[in-house]
A and B are shown apart, each in its own frame.
Chain A
């Protein structure tokens, strides 16, 4: 019987010819990643299991969530990471390098057919390159560092068929928001999403990363695009099939305080904003900054609005600096942040004040997510965020992107 992408990758990594959804396997892991929010606990757990990292070349630590450190207590945790990496010969991406998931893809640390775990829920992003990427906790990560393996329950798969083409104003982020709205926050719990359809071919790597990144927001274990050509995806057994007609995807927002609360941007015109944020593993790539620059070129953002830009990596920043995109954004009034997670997790780099409204390209808008329980977060695409920064209220980017 033909296996799903998830089954195929887990079988290959556990020395099995065939596995089926529901089975437990112990598999070799190609990439073992932790970030500064999860690595310190993983280091602590590891010390109770082993004193030797089995395959240090497969491990990567990233300082991105709280980078550079905003407090002494955080600096201590970063220091623990630096010492651990030095002692065990592990690659460390230090503050300013960028967001963990962006770096793993940019540096080729994850590729088609790989099995990758990250102590970060958005490790599903690696599905964009055809890897089975999944989020795990610090203790699972420590176990994988000690053994090079981890146990997995093979997930069932949900087929997501993307057909047609996006309108110019709509983007991959809007596809992701539509999908989460359709499946709900637990519509894909324990399952792997498998993306197919004639619409997939028209998506760039950046766009696939945005979509895979948000698979976890519907509860999914992984969100897999095809790793290689010549597959026959349709004949495997799927739990469910979901269809999204790309030409019916409209620019919109997840409104407070849940990701699945999708509303078209054109219905939110009376929402005034204080902060516009472009960045994160979801939408901090060059194409995202370039789209924002296209909308903001020659203009300045609305008075009273702060536009924060956190490039997802140093190379994104360099590219934007070299191409003029960065200048355009700065001239429009943008505030440039260190490549990294920025204000996404509410610990530094732009915590909103009580009563403020943020429109953000991040992936979560839970109450208090950005560090203030009394601020509202609307999730949107870079185009919608840029258009809203221009006008001062939530704005459909259509008229800027004809």
Chain B
């Protein structure tokens, strides 16, 4: 999980979790593959047919604001998204992404365009746009979250360690 690379889809600021997956779908089923057909439907109806496994979402500030529903990161993963890189995240979405094993990287990738390739060095905290010769430093994940993410999410973390192995100072 240390190196993630893929083609990017660019979004703006304040992309809320209802835009990621609308409430009217979230309550109908727990089948994430079914929900993935509706990912970003309100703001980009063609997205679900364009997205390919391994693609990366790049966004502005406050990505994932709004509802706490965990369907948001789960649906992104089911749609094939391997990571979300954003200038900033809303806290519940950020935590849910880590808990469900979706890599989230706080980084302002100015100059990125939809279709560009992106390479993320998760452990090193570096993000690269090779097609544009640009490199960025990401905000490093608190060690607690890095631990959970590298274990594959909170469930594998608890299964492995039997408890929360996250205490202490950052």
Q: Contact flags (1/0) for B128-162 with A, using CB distance below 8 Å?
A: 00000000000000101000000001110011000
A306 CB–B CB distance under 8 Å: no
Q: Footprint of A on B, CB under 8 Å?
A: 14, 16, 18-19, 22-24, 26-30, 42-43, 61-62, 65-71, 74, 88, 90-92, 95-96, 99-100, 142, 144, 153-155, 158-159, 163-164, 166-170
Contact of B99 among A36, A139, A367 (CB under 8 A): A139
Instruction: Say yes or no: B167 contacts A140, CB within 8 Å.
Output: no
19 contacts between A and B (CB under 8 A): A26-B163, A37-B27, A37-B69, A48-B159, A135-B68, A137-B68, A138-B69, A139-B70, A139-B155, A150-B164, A151-B144, A151-B166, A153-B142, A185-B14, A221-B91, A345-B27, A366-B18, A367-B43, A371-B23
Chain A residue with minimal CB distance to B156?
A: A48
Instruction: Say yes or no: A37 contacts B92, CB within 8 Å.
Output: no
Q: Min CB distance, B142 to chain A, in Å?
A: 7
What is the bound-complex CA distance between A150 and B42, given in angstroms? 34
Instruction: Say yes or no: B69 contacts A137, CB within 8 Å.
Output: yes
Instruction: Say yes or no: A38 contacts B164, CB within 8 Å.
Output: no
A24 CB–B CB distance under 8 Å: yes
Contact residues of A between 3 and 44, Cβ < 8 Å to B:
22-26, 36-38, 40-41, 44
- Chain B residues within an 8 Å CB radius of A371: 23-24
What is the bound-complex CA distance between A116 and B169, given in angstroms? 23
- Chain A residues within an 8 Å CB radius of B74: 41
Chain A residue with minimal CB distance to B153?
A: A139
Instruction: Say yes or no: A140 contacts B66, CB within 8 Å.
Output: no
Q: Min CB distance, B153 to chain A, in Å?
A: 7
A186 CB–B CB distance under 8 Å: yes
Instruction: Say yes or no: B27 contacts A24, CB within 8 Å.
Output: no
- Chain B residues within an 8 Å CB radius of A74: 27-28
Contact of A24 among B18, B153, B167 (CB under 8 A): B167
Q: Footprint of B on A, CB under 8 Å?
A: 22-26, 36-38, 40-41, 44-45, 48-49, 65-66, 71, 73-74, 77, 119-121, 123, 135-140, 142-143, 146-147, 149-151, 153, 185-186, 189-190, 219, 221, 258, 345-347, 364, 366-369, 371, 373
Top 9 nearest A-B pairs (CB, nearest first) are A137-B96, A137-B70, A186-B62, A121-B68, A135-B68, A139-B99, A138-B70, A345-B23, A346-B23
Instruction: Say yes or no: A25 contacts B16, CB within 8 Å.
Output: no
Instruction: Say yes or no: B158 contacts A146, CB within 8 Å.
Output: yes
Instruction: Say yes or no: B28 contacts A71, CB within 8 Å.
Output: yes
- Chain A residues within an 8 Å CB radius of B14: 185-186, 258
- Chain A residues within an 8 Å CB radius of B24: 346-347, 371
Q: Min CB distance, A50 to chain B, in Å?
A: 8
What is the bound-complex CA distance between A119 and B90, given in angstroms? 15
Instruction: Say yes or no: A26 contacts B30, CB within 8 Å.
Output: no
Of residues B27, B61, B167, which shows the largest number of chain A Cβ atoms within 10 Å of its Cβ?
A: B27
Contact A189-B30, Cβ < 8 Å, known A22-B170, A24-B170: no
- Chain B residues within an 8 Å CB radius of A221: 91
Contact A190-B71, Cβ < 8 Å, known A25-B167, A139-B153: no
Beyond the given pairs A142-B155, A346-B24, 10 more chain A to chain B contacts, judged by CB atoms under 8 angstroms and listed by A's residue number, are A26-B163, A26-B164, A121-B92, A137-B96, A137-B99, A139-B96, A143-B164, A185-B65, A258-B14, A366-B66
- Chain B residues within an 8 Å CB radius of A366: 16, 18-19, 66
- Chain A residues within an 8 Å CB radius of B88: 186, 189
Instruction: Say yes or no: A190 contacts B69, CB within 8 Å.
Output: no
- Chain A residues within an 8 Å CB radius of B158: 49, 143, 146-147
What is the bound-complex CA distance between A140 and B159, given in angstroms? 14
What is the bound-complex CA distance between A135 and B26, given in angstroms? 17
Contact A186-B65, Cβ < 8 Å, known A36-B27, A40-B30, A367-B42: yes
Q: Min CB distance, B116 to chain A, in Å?
A: 25
What is the bound-complex CA distance between A137 and B98, given in angstroms? 11
What is the bound-complex CA distance between A147 and B155, given in angstroms? 12
What is the bound-complex CA distance between A146 and B169, given in angstroms? 25
Q: Min CB distance, B35 to chain A, in Å?
A: 11
Instruction: Say yes or no: B92 contacts A136, CB within 8 Å.
Output: yes
Q: Min CB distance, A183 to chain B, in Å?
A: 12
What is the bound-complex CA distance between A77 and B31, given in angstroms? 12
What is the bound-complex CA distance between A206 and B166, given in angstroms? 37
- Chain A residues within an 8 Å CB radius of B23: 37, 345-347, 368-369, 371
- Chain B residues within an 8 Å CB radius of A119: 68, 70
Instruction: Say yes or no: B95 contacts A26, CB within 8 Å.
Output: no
What is the bound-complex CA distance between A346 and B42, given in angstroms? 13
What is the bound-complex CA distance between A139 and B73, given in angstroms? 12
Contact A153-B100, Cβ < 8 Å, known A221-B91, A368-B18, A371-B23: no
Instruction: Say yes or no: A139 contacts B154, CB within 8 Å.
Output: yes
Instruction: Say yes or no: B167 contacts A137, CB within 8 Å.
Output: no
Q: Min CB distance, A17 to chain B, in Å?
A: 15
What is the bound-complex CA distance between A258 and B62, given in angstroms? 13
Q: Min CB distance, A123 to chain B, in Å?
A: 8
What is the bound-complex CA distance between A147 and B18, given in angstroms? 30
- Chain A residues within an 8 Å CB radius of B30: 40-41, 44, 77
Of residues B69, B144, B153, which shows the largest number of chain A Cβ atoms within 10 Å of its Cβ?
A: B69
